[in-house]
Amino acid sequence: MSDSSDEELTGGEEEKWVLYKDREEWNDVTPLSQDDGPNPIVAIAYSEKFKDSYDYFRAILKSGEKSERALGLTEDCIWLNPANYTVWQYRREILKALGKDLKEELKYINKIIEHNSKNYQVWYHRKVIVEWLKNASEELQFTEFILKKDAKNYHAWQHRQWCIKTFNLYEKELKYVEELLTEDVRNNSAWNQRFFVISNTTKFEPNVIDKEVDFALKKISLVKANESAWNYLRGVLMQQSGGLVHNDKVRKKCVELYEEGYRTNHLLACIIDISMESPVNDELPESIFHINNALKLCKELSEKHDKIRKRYWNFIGNQLLQKLETL
C-alpha cells in the first residue's frame, strides 16, 4: 500500500494517534461497520486504527457530510490505504463543496506521490486537480523529480505525456529525453518518449526520418546490442513507404557491423527483416541481405544467439522458404 513510515505522512509519532471513537468532536457520528456478510470466507484482520477510521468514513459517506473534519478523515483513510478509489473520489467532492485552495491540494498530493509513486489512484487525483486548475506549470518538474528515483515509472510517464499533449508542452521535451539517454542509452521509456514527441510534432517528413535514423544509429554504435535503439529505428522507418529495405544508412550500418563480427540478436533480426521485405530478385547472392543468408541467420538465432525464441525463428525461416519457392 505504501512505502512510507507512519510518522512521515501523519506528521507525528504513532502514540499520538487518537481513535475516532475517542474524539469528542466525532461523538455525533455513529460509525458504520463494514458488511462482509454473515459468513465471510476469509475475513481480513484489519488493525484497530484502520477499522475505526473506515467505520467513520463509511458513516460520513452515507450521510453525505462535506466538512473540514470529513476532509481530514479522508487524509487519514488515504494514509491507511492510498489505493482506495472511493476515498479519493469523496475527497474531490469535498474539495469542490468547500471551495478549497487547489494549489494546496497539489502540495498535499506531491507528498502522497513521493511515498506511493506506483499507485494509479494518486496519479489520477493529481490529473484531476491539474485539470481543475487548468495549469500544468509544475508537472514536468514534478514528474522529472519522480523519474530521477525510477526512470521507468509508468504512471509518471503517462502523466507527463498527458500534460505535454493537453497543455502543448513539447518544446523542451526532446532535450530532456536526450539527457536521459545520455545517462542510460538503454532507457526504453526515454526512447518511447522520443517517439511520442516526434509523432505528435511532425508528420514524419523525409528530413525528420533522416534525422531520427541518424540519432538511432549513433546510439546503436555506442551499444550494439541495445534493443531499445533498434526498436526505435524500426519504428521510425515503418513511417515511410520504403520501410527498412530502401534506407541506405541502415543497410550500410548493418553491413558494417556484420563484417566487424557482431552477431547481436537485433542486428541479425534487422538483416532478416530487410531480406523479407526485399523483392525476391533484388539482392545479390553475396549480399548479407540475400534470402539464403537470411535463412542461415534464422538457424543461427534459433540454435545459438536467441534459443529462447527458437520456435519464432523457425517460423520466420519457414516464411523465407515459402518466399524462396517463388523464385
- List residues with catalytic annotation: 118
Cβ-based neighbour number of residue 30 at 10 Å = 11
Q: How far apart are CA 249 and CA 217, in angstroms?
A: 9
Residue 192's nearest CA partner among 232, 144, 148 is 232
Q: What are phi and psi of 13, to 5 degrees?
A: -80, 160
Scan for cell 533480426, then name that residue. 269
Q: How far apart are CA 5 and CA 156, in angstroms?
A: 22
Burial class of residue 217, CB neighbours in 10 A (0-12, 13-18, 19+): middle
Distances (CA, A) of 162 to 26, 127, 143: 40, 9, 12
Scan for cell 515459402, then name that residue. 322
Residue 219's nearest CA partner among 244, 193, 253 is 253
Residue 180's nearest CA partner among 165, 160, 166 is 160
